[in-house]
Amino acid sequence: MKLYVVGFGCGNHENMTFEADTAIQRSDLIVGYTTYVELIKSLYPGKKFESTGMRRERERVTFALEKASGGLTVSLICSGDSGIYGMAGLALEISEEKFPNVDVEVISGVTAALSGGAILGAPLTHDFAVISLSDLLTPMKKIEKRLKLAAEADFSIVIYNPSSKNRWDYCARACDILLESKSKDIICGFVKNIGRNGQEYGVMTLAELRDFPADMFTTLFIGNSETRKIGNKMMTPRGYRNG
């Protein structure tokens, strides 16, 4: 009676941890959001997959726990890390309520802040915050407050879910909040389709980022007051020269 909650990274095999790969290999059934299942299905021929669409997270997690409770070894997959905007918390919550017999093991993965940060160079060498602009589960007023306070504290900031069809102006709104405390010349970057076909990245100022056409497959990186551009990369110093 085993459920692995697996973060598989960005979707290619090279960026998946050995632990994640092993957990999936050991599983009788792999359960996930439809897009995520399609990303890794070809890596595991012969495995049985089940998927559900967006906004059916409780249904998906409950189904995975039911199958595990029935004796199967199940992997519930998430992109990036399963504990960062993933299903790990919900799986533990529902297992406590309804499936205490299931052994839930959380398998970490490489989240977009890390994989995207590596593509951009070293934007997160010092303290940083990760904030999602998706307001499906978090009120926008709370998101705005987090942006404002992170900017005032001079954190480097990683932004997930910056825009979508229904949230087309959220990236600009977030940048406007950041511009209240940060210089328009702060170094920023974006990475789109991390580790997948069509991967691209770029470095720009915060003023330029405000009008950048980001989408749900884009991760944004806003530097702190010391972040600088080196070639086509970002670098946030940690202060070794002062040591």
User: How far is it, in rounded angstroms, from Cα 115 to Cα 194?
Assistant: 7
Contact call for residues 132 and 159 (beta carbons, < 8 A): yes
Residue-level pLDDT at 194: 94
pTM: 0.93
3-class DSSP string for 144-210 = HHHHHHHHHCCCEEEEECCCCCCCCCHHHHHHHHHCCCCCCCCEEEEEECCCCCCCEEEEEEHHHHC
Residue-level pLDDT at 168: 87
Residue-level pLDDT at 47: 96
For 111-170, how does the pLDDT look when each residue is reduced to its tens digit (9 = 90+)? 999 999 999 999 999 999 999 999 999 999 999 999 999 999 999 999 999 998 888 899
Residues with Cβ within 8 Å of residue 103, at least 6 apart in sequence: 1, 2, 3
Residues with Cβ within 8 Å of residue 12, at least 6 apart in sequence: 195, 196
User: How far is it, in rounded angstroms, from Cα 205 to Cα 238?
Assistant: 20
For 82-121, how does the pLDDT look when each residue is reduced to its tens digit (9 = 90+)? 999 999 999 999 999 999 999 999 999 999 999 999 999 9
% of residues, the chain, pLDDT over 90: 89
